[in-house]
Amino acid sequence: MRSAPSYSFRTEWRALGTPREVSDILEDPADLPRWWPSVYLDVETLDVGDERGVGRRARLHTRGWLPYTLRWELTVTESRSPHGFSIEAKGDLAGAGTWTLEESGAWTLVTYDWNVRAEKPLLRILSPLLRPVLAANHRWAMRRGEESLALELLRRRARQAAERSRIPAPPGPARHSGTLLLLLAGAALAGFAAARRVSCSRRRRRGRWRF
């Protein structure tokens, strides 16, 4: 069986808040569908872990811009609170991720290193053809996360209900049909077939002039 395609991503955010404020938000997977709804459709807590959150487990249903969803489990393997934590993933996505939070004046610099294998059968098939598109899908999801985190920090700092009500809702899930994915796959297959034809034609021409 072909090995699952692997991806390595580094995401960098700037968040207006302390590492503790940012950490309190990121460390709670159960709250992800509320403040990051564009990506996290549903989260089920399986284990709360120890007093530092190590061993916390959650089952997640997620998506990005492309019209497919992923089901996977997250386990917290290390806590450096409030300066970050590490996770392991299994399911449609399998691998490891590390959040790092660094104070920079009134801001927190957030870095997420995500090394993951695409285990979902659909992604195993499409990755050789649509790797740049699938990588762009991840970047879209993380941009929505940075926007949503900024709004959540504003909500938590608001002192009055009237002030809180003026803060926009976080961006929701993308609205696309499965037709988009089929069109992308069709375009990639057509490009792959054209490249194969060109390659075969060049080999035939080289063979024709060989003495």
Q: What is the pLDDT of residue 189?
A: 52
pLDDT value, residue 165: 93
> 185 and 93, same structural domain?
no
Q: Rounded mean pLDDT of the chain?
A: 89
Same domain, 142 and 193: no
Q: Give the structural domain span for 57.
A: 6-176
- Overall number of domains in the chain: 2
Residue 206 confidence (pLDDT) above 80: no
pLDDT single digits (tens) 75-104: 999 999 999 999 999 999 999 999 999 999
The CATH code of the domain that includes 148 is 3.30.530.20
**Residue 125 — very low, low, confident or very high, per pLDDT cuts 50/70/90?**
confident
Which tens digit of pLDDT belongs to each residue from 167-191? 999 999 988 655 555 555 555 555 5
pLDDT at 204 over 90: no
pLDDT in tens, 149-165: 999 999 999 999 999 99
Residues 171 and 192 in one domain: no
Residue 1 lies in a domain: no
Residue 211, pLDDT score: 42
In this prediction, residues 130-158 reach a mean pLDDT of: 96
Instruction: Kindly provide the b/e burial profile for residues 167-194, where b requires at least 16 CB atoms within 10 angstroms of the residue's own CB.
Output: eeebbebbeeeeeebeebbeebeeeeee
Pick from 25-39, 57-71, 189-203: least confident: 189-203
